Amino acid sequence: MLSRKSRLLRFGIVLTTFFAGIAVMGSPPASGGQIVERNNSATTTIDDIQQFRWYAISARHSGQCLDVAGASLADGAHLIQWPCRYQHNQQWAAQSAGSGYYRLVVRNSGKCLDVSGASHDDGAHLIQWPCHNGQNQQWRFVNLTDGYYRLVARHSGKCLDVSGASHAEGAHLIQWPCHNGQNQQWRITAVD
């Protein structure tokens, strides 16, 4: 078993091979390149995010952040919305999965945003799970052109959604058919 330092070093090396696809407020990094994504037949450009940066992901309708419940390190811990405090269980990095999709890795545990059981069902819960190559951990960022993004799961084509458009602290995050609701619109903000 690798030591924590070795795992962090290995993770850092892996980080150098990805980080593209999410625009953040402000200027793109000097070393940034671009990827082009199709959105309803229109071409949108998404600037590279900086390497070794962590980001908070907040829901437009509530202003609350994507959060691992209770800062859990456990496999299968639920993802919820919670007031943004920018703790490690609310900090995410994007890891390229190829073809315009990304894995979202939480800083607290090093695990990935995952649709539980690779379900295609409406309302399937989002959890943290050890990162793998499954399409239920791969997300496409669709630029809504106003500083927000829709996150679409590769395996199901459904969107990251705050259940019932709830404003409550601790509301569960699910996958749901994509629509124009603000509970499916997410802002990406650098936190370090």
What total of structural domains would you count in the chain?
A: 1
Q: Which domain holds residue 140?
A: 4-190
The predicted model scores a pTM of: 0.76
* 72 pLDDT above the threshold of 50: yes
Please state, in angstroms and rounded to a whole number, the distance separating the CA atoms of residues 29 and 31. Answer: 5
Please state, in angstroms and rounded to a whole number, the distance separating the CA atoms of residues 127 and 111. Answer: 9
Residue 29: Cβ within 10 Å count: 15
Token pair for residue 84?
């943004």
The pLDDT tens digits for 84-115 are: 999 999 999 999 899 999 999 999 999 999 99
CATH number for 99: 2.80.10.50
* 10 pLDDT above the threshold of 90: no
